[in-house]
Amino acid sequence: MRHNLGVGGYFTDASMIRRVHREQVLAISGARALLMQAAHPVAFAGFFMSTGSLEDPYARLHRTARVLDTIIFGERDAADRVTAVVRRVHSRTRGALPYPAGKFPAGTPWAADDPALMLWILATLADSGTLVYERYVGSLSERRRDAYWRDWRTVGRLFGLGGGDMPERHADLRRYMREMLAGDVLHVSAEARQLGIDVVLRPPVPARAKPLLEAANFTVIGLLPARIRRGYGLGWDPLRALALRVGAESARRAVVPVLPRRVRFRSSAPLAGQPAGLGRPAGLGRPAARAS
């Protein structure tokens, strides 16, 4: 299956970022990433919290999906166009926290092009992608993990991050994630908790799709770091953890390898100027409307 029908994309079908995100199951990684992103109070304010964004969150998520899809599966000129728009919006999007959240007092300023905030968004996408792929598709060697993170570093550069703003290798990315999870920056605010429950875990779906949504939510909740899961008030226990491990192992060994290609892989093939969706990702697309 070839996603990019043109030539000259930033990535090829041999690129790890395409090989990972062509898998349908990677949609789960987008939901996990969103919940982790919103656990950063300043990132939540900069990229999610505004009247327009919370009133129509799915439109914003769809725009983000289209941007990421264009970068990963589209052609270079289309990727350059959409990321130039995002960078322009980021450059003028500023605000301040309207309430205290964790270590951050009310009035803490934020900027959508702050490298530290953008890194958190990027890192959660890459960390979630690695985790879901290895749980449900197959293990990755350290060399392939590095290649996957190099691809995400390319994405980061397109959004304005410099090479020095991002961890160099996947091991450095893992170290960064551990430090963030152990530190005092992350805090799930009441507003983020509402977003996580209402938007990520309770999206509007037809009744026939409810069992699939419940299964996906079970997986997303189980794959969250324990600290983040507790912050959202989501229950978990050893029995559910065991069920998740057994289910993931069964899927990786006995289900995913034998799925027909049309079922296993994403069927969308974005053309220049017409990117398709990327599951339920979040973050580095156009941020929330400017706060006062």
CA distances from 238 to 29, 77, 244, 254, 291 (A): 22, 49, 10, 24, 42
CA angle, 155 as apex, 73 and 225 as ends, to 5°?
100
pLDDT tens across 218-248, in order? 999 999 999 999 999 999 999 999 999 999 9
Amino acid identity, position 279: G
Tokens of 251: 């899927």
Rg (Cα) of the chain, in Å, rounded?
Answer: 18
Beta bridge partners of 23: 265
Q: How far is CA 101 from the centre of its chain?
A: 22
214 has pLDDT over 60: yes
47 has pLDDT over 70: yes
Q: What is the pLDDT of residue 62?
A: 81
Q: For residues 99 and 54, which has the higher predicted lDDT (pLDDT)?
A: 99
Domain boundaries, the chain: 16-264
114-141 average pLDDT score: 97
Nearest 10 degrees: CA dihedral of 159, 162, 166, 167? 140
What mean pLDDT value characterizes the chain? 87
Nearest 10 degrees: CA dihedral of 95, 101, 107, 108? -70
Report how far residue 68's alpha carbon sits from residue 62's, in angstroms, rounded to the nearest whole number: 10
DSSP 3-state of 274: strand
Helices 210-223, 115-136: axis angle to 10 degrees equals 110
3-state DSSP percent of the chain in helix, strand and coil, to 5: 60, 5, 35
- Structure confidence at residue 55 as a pLDDT band (50, 70, 90): low
124-138 average pLDDT score: 97
Q: For residues 269 and 24, which has the higher predicted lDDT (pLDDT)?
A: 24
25-51 average pLDDT score: 87
Q: What is the pLDDT of residue 255?
A: 95
117 has pLDDT over 70: yes
Report how far residue 236's alpha carbon sits from residue 243's, in angstroms, rounded to the nearest whole number: 11
27 contacts 292 by C-beta, under 8 angstroms = no
**Which residue in 23, 254, 1 sits closest to 130, CA to CA?**
23
Q: What is the pLDDT of residue 107?
A: 94
Beta bridge partners of 271: 274
pLDDT tens across 5-16, in order? 445 899 999 999
Tokens of 97: 């926290």
277 has pLDDT over 50: no
Report how far residue 112's alpha carbon sits from residue 64's, in angstroms, rounded to the nearest whole number: 14
- pLDDT over 90 for what percent of the chain? 74
Q: How far is CA 191 from the centre of its chain?
A: 19
Question: Which letter, b or e, does each residue of 50-71 get, where b requires 16 or more Cβ atoms within 10 Å of its Cβ?
Answer: beebbeebeebbeebbbbbbbb
Report the predicted TM-score, pTM, of the whole model to 2 decimal places.
0.88
